[in-house]
Structure 1
């Protein structure tokens, strides 16, 4: 998961609001699998890990929209991204390790170090890529995207629309081909390559980059916002009977499909919401509270699984439907409150402080094409 860049923050407010809903999808996914199911709702969010795919696409869209034409030096861009994600990462890892210590659960120093260095998702060992803070694996992917972004922007920013269209088609087809092409791998290895490895997940980020560039040039997505929301809901409902038919361990199960095949649908949703903002249309996603919740979503994403883990350890899993609902409500309220506190007292202040001491943002000359 990533956060909207500081430049032009909330310029597209509906995207900030969508961040909350995507984070909620991931939170409900973890609650369903780690605590217990709520009839009806849990089936719909059983593959809510797809919310991470949404954030990968969103990251590409927002970064392309923000930095296209800005000519910000690469070192400034990378420092801004580090300032944006690393302080909250470090705090969440410390919180996670502390909870594991209380649980008397062994913690790998190697995993914690790899997490803080943002390289943990490159390891095929589950104890490494989930060891510091299980939810933080996606930040390793994001760090790789950030390193690639200046080059991607230099390659694609000046291209014609048909290049972006063909790139979108190529990325989508590659995802469709990779999914069965890797079916012969051992289950754990296949899961790592498709679900965690930054190199493969970068396809989703690239899809977002070309979509963001197209939006910046005035492209109007053919799917309106209401229809795009309907597509996202329909996709997750289709996964329900699929789940009851195919076990998750099989390569053609909806587990990986829910993350890999959803990228174009999420791209359509993001572009439709952004276009509505640019046209001045109200979406219901950009109000004050939605903006506030969207701002908290990054910290919420990093904290919520730790709260679930601590609550299950202390109280055990509920044994009744009413108990599950109460448990869910307590975790949601507690984790979101902690996220709000973390955003206002750690995430934003640390970002501002690091940006002040980092490299200056003097635009590079227009004649230089290798920077940003």
Structure 2
């Protein structure tokens, strides 16, 4: 999924001095862990738990933390914020959709141009459950939610100046979204996709993490959540609650809050955990994560629907993703950020 730079924050007076911002390697490693869970869950599924779904939640809570830091703490200019989001996300997405539409034409996961259009307009998460779907694009539902969250959080940052008001607003909105999901699934008997592909439900993961991040920044995070083992304990608890035997709404009512606590407690974690997440393999996966996220889906569909050998398919994922990252994603981002 899309990446927001994992950085220390500049003071309000130093907003123009962007080079002073220092990258936090363990947050890149968290992103690497997220994409690793998605890949394992799709290509080497573990009985009893959907690691792919869990990996998406790891992405969402990280996005919530980083967006809160950038929009509410650093007060990053919104015009530049959206320009950088566009340069980071859209070129690689556009190329992926075009290449997939050409390459997969006539296959069992044949492309539909209407589905492609909804992917490129970030409406696939609703159109996919109401109108048109294409198997190679089904993962775009999560990217749509993240893009919608950018707009919602940016609007809140523009309208609500006081963080003391932002935090309760985010918590209330997150609670409403979580209850909305539980009601849709349990009482209206909607299935998983119709319930949890929707932004009005799934944005809770991002909003809740953003609220916890702001509580931490304001020194209001309970001392109990600042221990060196909180991040590990909360993440392990979340994984246990994401088991298939646990009712789906509980995943989002209980497990996601634990993940939101975990990603925000990384700053206080043990050297072992932060060191492991900061290791070269994990941070490298984090850098490649968006391209890996884009390109894994069609290969996963071949494994899932055709029973193909997962290892060659996974190799294909990395080949396409690395080409995407080094030939499209990174050059396009750097050129657009430099010239736009």
What is the TM-score when the length of structure 2 is the normalising length? 0.81
- 1:302 is aligned, of 294, 301, 316, to 294
- 2:180 is aligned, of 159, 178, 181, to 178
Pair 1:129–1:214, CA change in 2 (3 A): farther
Specify the SS of the correspondent of 2:278. Answer: coil
Pair 1:124–1:299, CA change in 2 (3 A): closer
1:103-130 deviations in Å (ceiling 9; x for gaps)? 2544221111111111222326366365
Pair 1:211–1:310, CA change in 2 (3 A): same
Supply the distance in 2 between the matched residues of 1:101 and 1:125 (Cα, whole angstroms): 22
Quick check: 2:175–2:204 contact (8 Å CA) kept in 1? no
Q: Does 1:27 align with 2:30?
A: no
In structure 1, stretches of 5+ residues that fail to align are 244-252, 319-326, 359-372
Supply the distance in 2 between the matched residues of 1:216 and 1:48 (Cα, whole angstroms): 31
User: Any residues of structure 2 matched to 1:94-113 within 5 Å, and which?
Assistant: 94-101=98-105, 103=107, 105-113=109-117
Supply the distance in 1 between the matched residues of 2:243 and 2:303 (Cα, whole angstroms): 28
Q: Does 1:336 align with 2:311?
A: no
Q: Which residue does the alignment assign to 2:72?
A: 68
Supply the distance in 2 between the matched residues of 1:214 and 1:151 (Cα, whole angstroms): 20
Pair 1:344–1:126, CA change in 2 (3 A): farther
Q: Which residue does the alignment assign to 1:3?
A: 3
Which structure would you say has the larger Rg? 1
Quick check: 2:237–2:255 contact (8 Å CA) kept in 1? no
User: Any residues of structure 2 matched to 1:131-170 within 5 Å, and which?
Assistant: 133-154=137-158, 158-160=162-164, 164=167, 166=168, 170=172
Quick check: 1:225–1:269 contact (8 Å CA) kept in 2? no
Specify the SS of the correspondent of 1:68. Answer: helix
Quick check: 2:48–2:245 contact (8 Å CA) kept in 1? no
Q: Indicate the RMSD between aligned Cα atoms, in angstroms.
A: 3.3
Q: More helix per residue: 1 or 2?
A: 2
Supply the distance in 1 between the matched residues of 2:310 and 2:233 (Cα, whole angstroms): 26
Pair 1:347–1:236, CA change in 2 (3 A): same
Greater relative contact order (CA < 8 Å, ≥ 6 in sequence): 1
Pair 1:225–1:269, CA change in 2 (3 A): farther
What is the TM-score when the length of structure 1 is the normalising length? 0.74
Supply the distance in 2 between the matched residues of 1:293 and 1:62 (Cα, whole angstroms): 18
In structure 2, stretches of 5+ residues that fail to align are 9-20
Aligned residues: 325
Pair 1:275–1:178, CA change in 2 (3 A): same
Pair 1:335–1:10, CA change in 2 (3 A): farther
